[in-house]
Structure 1
Amino acid sequence: MYTPPFNRTDDEAELRGLVAGVRVGWLVTSRAGEAPAASFLPLVWHADTVVAHLAKANPHWREIEDDSPALLIVTGPDAYVSPSWYAAKAEHGKVVPTWNYSAVHLTGTARVHHEPAWLRSAVTSLTDEHEAPRDQPWQVDDAPDPFIEGQLRGIVGIELTVTGVEGKAKLSQNRSVADREGVVEGLRADGRSGDLAVAEAMAASLHGVSED
């Protein structure tokens, strides 16, 4: 991932928070001489391990050998940035559009699991993680065992051992404070969900600038 120094994010708690908030990502693997395969998967990242699963009907898992190199891409909110929002537009007009976004790349080695106990533990962990905010969270044990066992036969588990983490937050850090404030105002005025999330991230970043 191309990451200029001013866009680099190294805070592990922040990166884990982004992944936990997004909850899904693109698993990318490739065999030598073959085109890469990618699958969009719900996931849980604990310690140095990511747990996910694929439908058994998805041929992607057949391309994953034990300890195959893998990349997991998790993207946060993103938004188009209009040059009309920059204070610099009125000053000299030398401005162009861009796109702001946040992303985390997890690299490591992947392994496929077929064991029923591992699969049940994985789907329980995923379910508990995603159901936790609900007033009455659904649990795997809420469904009849024979039904769950049948569902587990239709999936394979994916375990990614994480060996590298890259984080990027492209939030106009290379622009002046006035330009960044203009982008925040513009995104808030547009009001789309992704725009608002990027605006809040930029506002938090600007708050840190003002305290330095």
Structure 2
Amino acid sequence: MLIHPWDAARDDAEWQDWLRTRDFGQIAANGVDGAAPVVVPTHFRYDGDEVVLHLARPNPIWAALEANPAAVVTVHDEYAYIPSGWRGESPQTGVPTSYYAAVQLVCRAEIVDDREGKADILRRQLAHHQPDGDHGEMAADAGPYHKRLSAIRALRLLVTDVRAKFKYDGQHPAELRERVTAGLAGRGLPGDAAVLRRQRART
């Protein structure tokens, strides 16, 4: 994605703090033999060095990753459409845009098929998504889930690069940003409050 200097994360802490509270996105891989990319919505766990997740065995992404292990995990949130009238003296002179935050983790994929490896990744995911421990035992050869391990494959994704973007008109004068702030505060669409908080935090 295009990242202008004014839209870039101010430091690693900004995008890391943002991503820490988000664990659902899409994993994308190149299509096989020139086919369209494979894009799969999924929950995941990110621990700072790698992403782990699991998917059903029939998922088409496995063939794509076996052909080319390059993958991107992408997450976006805090987005809103900003109409032309908020960014100019009138709707006829302003240029509409989108505000959003997005983080892309560029990864190298390792497919995990052994039972203990899959059980380990599932334990890590359950510890993240259900930290209260309200789930059954996850073991390779015991507990309520072990018979279902053959129905899934797991992924370990080593993060090799991070692309982070926070697009909130940081390059424009305070007057324009204040006009957008007033518009977001008055419109009240789903998501506007989160966008407003992010915009204020970056000005």
Structure 1 position 67, deviation (Å)? 6.8
Alignment of 1:131-146 (within 5 A): 131-132=130-131, 136-141=132-137, 145-146=142-143
- The letter of the residue matching 2:123 is T
Query: What's the CA shift string for 1:19-75, capped at 9, x where partnerless?
Result: 222211211111353321111111111132111111112122132128711111111
- Matching residue of 1:83: 84
Secondary structure, counterpart of 1:64 in structure 2: helix
Is 1:3 the equivalent of 2:3?
A: yes
Moved more, 176-185 or 197-206: 176-185
Query: How far apart in 2 are the matches of 1:80 and 1:61?
Result: 35
Question: So what's the TM-score if we normalise by structure 1?
Answer: 0.84
Query: What's the CA shift string for 1:153-189, capped at 9, x where partnerless?
Result: 2211011111111100001112211211221221122
Secondary structure, counterpart of 2:42 in structure 1: strand
Secondary structure, counterpart of 1:138 in structure 2: coil
Q: Is the contact made by 1:78 and 1:102 (CA closer than 8 Å) also made in structure 2?
A: yes
Alignment of 1:55-66 (within 5 A): 55-65=56-66
Alignment of 1:1-212 (within 5 A): 1-9=1-9, 11-30=11-30, 31-65=32-66, 68-86=69-87, 88-89=88-89, 94-132=93-131, 136-141=132-137, 145-206=142-203
Q: Is the contact made by 2:85 and 2:92 (CA closer than 8 Å) also made in structure 1?
A: no
Structure 1 position 139, deviation (Å)? 3.2
- Change in CA separation of 1:44 and 1:142 when aligned onto 2, cut-off 3 Å: closer
Q: Is the contact made by 2:56 and 2:152 (CA closer than 8 Å) also made in structure 1?
A: yes
Structure 1 position 104, deviation (Å)? 0.7
Secondary structure, counterpart of 1:141 in structure 2: coil
- Change in CA separation of 1:192 and 1:129 when aligned onto 2, cut-off 3 Å: farther
Of Structure 1 and Structure 2, the greater helix share is in 1
Q: Is the contact made by 2:137 and 2:143 (CA closer than 8 Å) also made in structure 1?
A: no
Query: How far apart in 1 are the matches of 2:201 and 2:184?
Result: 14
Which runs of 5 or more structure 1 residues have no equivalent in the other structure?
A: 207-212
Secondary structure, counterpart of 2:3 in structure 1: coil
For these two proteins, the number of residue pairs brought into alignment is 200
Question: So what's the TM-score if we normalise by structure 2?
Answer: 0.87
Q: Is the contact made by 1:24 and 1:43 (CA closer than 8 Å) also made in structure 2?
A: yes
Percent identity over the alignment is 26
Q: Is the contact made by 2:23 and 2:44 (CA closer than 8 Å) also made in structure 1?
A: yes
Secondary structure, counterpart of 1:193 in structure 2: coil
Q: Which runs of 4+ in 1 moved over 4 A?
A: none
